[in-house]
Amino acid sequence: MVTVYRPETLEQALDKLAVGDHTLFSGGTDLMVRHSVRPGMSPSFCRDVVFVDAIDELKHITQASLEPDRDGGVDSGIFIGAGVTLSEIECHPLIPDVLRQSVAKIAAPALRNRATMAGNICNASPAADSLPALYLLDARVVLSSVQGQREMALEDFVLAPGLTQLRQGEMLTHVVIPQSDLPITFYHKVGTRAANALTKLSVAGLAKVKKGRTGKGKLVDWRVAFGAVGPTVVRSRELESLLIGQPTEKLAKPRFVNEVVGMYSEIIRPIDDQRSTAEYRHQASLNLLQRWLSQLSVQ
């Protein structure tokens, strides 16, 4: 028989997770589908379930300077508790635009009122819509257990479809977004319809342009990430560095654009599945990359 726990403090939750094997349940929007048996029947769980949706200390979004003793941590950032729902993230003034836009494209309002970003991350789907924006923002995850806390870059945490670095007895308690100053945003999700659609692919971008004395722009930072076109999000800092420092007017030159698109064409290797074909995903990703470059060419 499966036992269900609903702790009200993080300490109680971690004590429970420390003993035995449990399924951690946040919003349950992935779990209820994964464990469904057949229409009209309750889902079936084979391990004890720990609901983490009643833990008040995980339901906040705060801006904070971080403690100096955190290994490899950043100095200051936005802390998003694991119990914060997607709807709360979508509306919160501290959340960067690119993340707000990508979260707003997940499913429909009723689901976003229940689902969490922590669940979206830990489910580690290649099509998880919050991930490309979080990769671009250099997000980090805080993992807690009775042994203490550890923190790592999100892109190190997500290993493969459905696989993360989460250890037994641990839970994700916070996502940390380091402070950044990247005011130009690009986000586009391709699905079968404009709203409430599963992702065929998505492209997210961030940039900063500085104007010189002549009024001409130069890219001081430029980033792009692709979702649902590989086992995990595709982002290449090496390719991004080739564009940083370039004048924005160069992004209107077909030869330069073709070179950039050609380099990304090599690293975007999608698969065919029930949502789309590899060929469509590959071409649509490159078309959106061109659109992102063209948007910046007039800055």
Determine if 54 is a binding residue for ligand FAD (CB under 6 A): no
Q: What angle do CA 176, 179, 182 make, to 5 degrees?
A: 120
Determine if 24 is a binding residue for ligand FAD (CB under 6 A): yes
Residue entry with tokens 């949706």: 53
Report the candidate in 114, 122, 116, 115 with the shortest Cα–Cα distance to residue 142. Answer: 122
Binder of ligand FAD out of 89, 171, 243, 260 (CB under 6 A): 171
Residue 132 CA to residue 120 CA, distance in Å, equals: 12
Helix segments in the chain, DSSP class H: 10-18, 31-34, 86-91, 97-104, 109-112, 117-123, 131-136, 154-157, 237-243, 254-267, 278-297
Determine if 185 is a binding residue for ligand FAD (CB under 6 A): no
Ranges within 123-162 binding ligand FAD (CB under 6 A): 123, 128-129
Binder of ligand FAD out of 12, 23, 246, 283 (CB under 6 A): 23
Determine if 30 is a binding residue for ligand FAD (CB under 6 A): yes
CA distance to 178, 240, 246, per residue, from 253 (Å): 34, 17, 12
Report the candidate in 49, 17, 21, 13 with the shortest Cα–Cα distance to residue 34. Answer: 49
Ranges within 105-124 binding ligand FAD (CB under 6 A): 106-107, 111, 115-116, 118-120, 122-123
State how beta strands 4-5 and 48-51 pair.
Answer: parallel
The structure tokens listed for 216 are 């001409």
Give the residue with the Cβ less far from ligand FAD, 85 or 248.
Answer: 85
Q: Smallest distance, Å, CB 295 to ligand FAD? A: 24
Determine if 27 is a binding residue for ligand FAD (CB under 6 A): yes
Determine if 227 is a binding residue for ligand FAD (CB under 6 A): no
Determine if 172 is a binding residue for ligand FAD (CB under 6 A): yes
CA distance to 82, 217, 252, per residue, from 71 (Å): 21, 37, 43
Q: Smallest distance, Å, CB 97 to ligand FAD? A: 18
Determine if 194 is a binding residue for ligand FAD (CB under 6 A): no
- Identify any residues that bridge with 74 across adjacent strands, giving them in sequence order: none
Q: Smallest distance, Å, CB 79 to ligand FAD? A: 14
Binding piece for ligand FAD, criterion CB under 6 A, among 29-37, 212-220, 230-238, 290-298? 29-37
Give the residue with the Cβ less far from ligand FAD, 116 or 248.
Answer: 116
Residue 261 CA to residue 238 CA, distance in Å, equals: 14
What is the Cβ-side half-sphere exposure of residue 196, based on CA atoms within 13 angstroms?
Answer: 4
Q: Smallest distance, Å, CB 31 to ligand FAD? A: 4
Binding piece for ligand FAD, criterion CB under 6 A, among 103-111, 235-243, 266-274, 283-291? 103-111
Determine if 82 is a binding residue for ligand FAD (CB under 6 A): yes
- Residues forming contacts to ligand FAD in the complex (CB under 6 A) are 23-31, 33, 52, 82, 106-107, 111, 115-116, 118-120, 122-123, 128-129, 166, 171-172, 198-199
